[in-house]
Structure 1
């Protein structure tokens, strides 16, 4: 060991990294399993006579199962692969991503009023599966931290002029809950160069959202006040996306 205890720090960092991977894996598996359970219960609710709905349910179950397999592969990769896989970029309509996330959560909290707002044709080049799970985490966080029956609004806009006049698309989730703490806001919106650790517990979903958005060259902004609700907005460039490291 060198004099400054370098080996000890490396071991500690490796242990922390492994713990982070397991925290992310458990969070993603719980999210996918909850979605699978919701869609799988449709026949028990007397809705199996709708063929289109059943096909949609089976596709969602298959997609979530694929995501679970992929999550496990990322956390326990083969020797020649990286934990952070390259983005599988393709044209994505942000409205479709929002609709699917709302449909998923509507199965789990059918009494919750979730409003949808669309403006323009918000298309971007992105990893569809990764983007979908980020938005799902964002909406799930809004539902879990607001009173039962409290309304949530999911709005999609674009293209709009961003910084420097560059076109971008936006998705925002607004709630009427107790608001976010300054600590959570700072962790979600701090610059990329600052601490990027994923935190366990209630902030894990928001940390995953931030990582996905940043990998797509986007940004996260938060407007929140005590007892006046929270609006989290994610913005993405509409042109292209890098492989993302």
Structure 2
């Protein structure tokens, strides 16, 4: 059976059946012992109820019978009372081990002669000597043999041996067994009738869980199982299942967001690549119409195409870099002084700033485990971003680096146009530009800060922006030190 309800019912009934079977076997054995012991006690009581003189007068010293008594079948016809009224074979063993057969039952035969050691042990016990045992006669019929010593206060006369059939006892045992079997069948049927609704009610929470899981698919992960009123195991299963659904829902949402970002990324990349290609295509058309014959127009067209090709080359390189960072990014980490790394870049940064004012505030001995080339790229990207958003003559740019506790802070601050606070959460997204038209004029594709964020994340660091519209901007990296 594959049904859990049916399996639980079957196993419960099987346990009850095995328990009843054990009880039945135990009861059969104990009942048999009880019946044999009770019968033996009854026969021993009947033997002890016969006067002692009966054994001496009728067995040990029998009197000759008169002619008037010849018609009697036995000289002891009424001497032994109830013992002779039953289907018993009776014998007497005197102290000299002489075996006297008193009565022989036709179906049982004569009472069996036991080993002398048995009789001797009983005689040694005195008047307290008694025992019984089961044994088969010469026909294979089981009989109960009861032994009891008899005598007066002064001496023991002998042993009375009574053999009786166990047929009646076996029949009584069979009747008891049949009654028990009937009660067992009734108990099993009652157990099935009682267990089925109990098991069904117990499995209701599990059934609800199964029904709920059948309704869940990739597009419907909002359903949750309420473990209220359920058993501990079902509650634990429900909690684990709900936690799994939460993880799946989070994963699917993350996948949907990633797919949306990927589609947006592809669209933005296509747009950014199409713009320089369109410009180059336009200049080529102008040249094909005859502008190539005009040296001034030819020079201007070639210069523009060169600029657009450089822009397209930088965009492709940035895209390749981001693709590598997304797949298997690798860092060549070694201990370095961040202040020294920035100091080495000072000539390049001042050249990039042109007429802008550049200030370096660098604390010494800022050691951390970093990839030096990628940290330089972070500084260069942040500095280039500051140059792009400050005035060519009035612009002021500060490059700083210092340490607080176990973190190194470094970055770039400018006095440019600043960023609205509502836009700051988006500035590290790929192809995001605060001012799209201005970014095109300065050649930006919106990938610099995205690349910077990827590098910072690889170093298990964080980057933050503090800015207000018209009040400049500060980008700083918080890098944990590793010693």
TM category (shorter chain) comes to 0.5 to 0.7
CA, structure 1 residues 171+14, in 2 after alignment: closer, same or farther (shift >3 Å)? closer
Structure 1 residue 156 corresponds to structure 2 residue 401: yes
1:216-245 CA deviation, whole Å, 9 max, x = no partner? 1111122212222111111101117xxxxx
For residues 73 and 199 of structure 1, do their structure 2 counterparts lie closer, same or farther at Cα, with a shift above 3 Å needed? closer
Per-residue deviation, 1:146: 1.0
Query: Quick one: distance in 2 between partners of 1:72 and 1:206?
Result: 13
Once the two structures are superposed, residues 25-68 of structure 1 have per-residue CA deviations (whole angstroms, 9 ceiling, x without a partner) of 9xxxxxxxxxxxxxxxxxxxxxxxxxxxxxxxxxxxxxxxxxxx
Q: Which residue of 1 aligns with 2:482?
A: 239
Pick aligned residue for 2:431 from 181, 186, 199? 199
Alignment of 1:64-79 (within 5 A): none
Runs of 4+ residues deviating >4 angstroms: 9-25, 70-77
Q: Say whether the 8 Å CA contact 1:93–1:124 is kept in structure 2.
A: yes
The within-5 A match list for 1:53-68 is none
Secondary structure at 1:236 match in 2: strand
1:209 aligns with 452
CA contact (8 A) 2:378 2:452 kept: yes
Query: Are 2:413 and 1:174 aligned?
Result: yes
TM-score, normalised to structure 2, is 0.32
1:62-211 correspondence runs (5 A)? 83-149=327-393, 150-158=395-403, 160-161=404-405, 167-188=406-427, 197-199=429-431, 201=433, 202=439, 203-211=446-454
Q: CA RMSD in A?
A: 3.8
How is 1:21-36 mapped onto 2 (pairs within 5 angstroms)? none
Alpha-carbon separation, structure 2, partners of 1:186 and 1:16: 17
Question: In structure 2, do the counterparts of structure 1 residues 82 and 222 end up closer, same or farther at CA, with 3 Å as the change threshold?
Answer: closer
Q: For the Cα contact (< 8 Å) 1:74–1:84, is it kept in 2?
A: no
Q: Determine which structure has the larger helix proportion and give its number.
A: 2
Task: Give the total of aligned pairs.
Answer: 179
2:466 to 220, 223, 226: 223
User: 8 Å contact 2:356–2:391 — kept in the other structure?
Assistant: no
What's the secondary structure of 2:470's corresponding residue?
A: coil
5+ residue gaps in structure 2? 1-217, 220-251, 274-316, 434-438, 440-445
Deviates more, 1:85-94 or 1:177-186: 177-186
Instruction: Give per-residue Cα distances to partners, 1:101-148, cap 9 Å, x unaligned.
Output: 432232233312111012241111011111111110001101101111
Structure with greater contact order relative to length (CA < 8 Å, sep ≥ 6): 1
Question: Unaligned 5+ residue runs, structure 1?
Answer: 26-69, 162-166, 189-195, 241-245
Query: Is this contact kept in 2: 1:21–1:75, CA < 8 A?
Result: no
* SS of the residue 2:386 aligns to: helix
Shift, 1:14, TM fit: 6.0
| CA deviation profile, 1:66-94 (whole Å, cap 9, x unmatched) | xxxx97875787xxx97442211111211
Deviations 1:154-173 (A, max 9, x none): 01102x12xxxxx0111021
Partners of 1:205 and 1:229 in 2: how far apart?
A: 18
- Tell me: CA distance 1:171–1:18, structure 2 relative to 1, closer, same or farther (3 Å): same
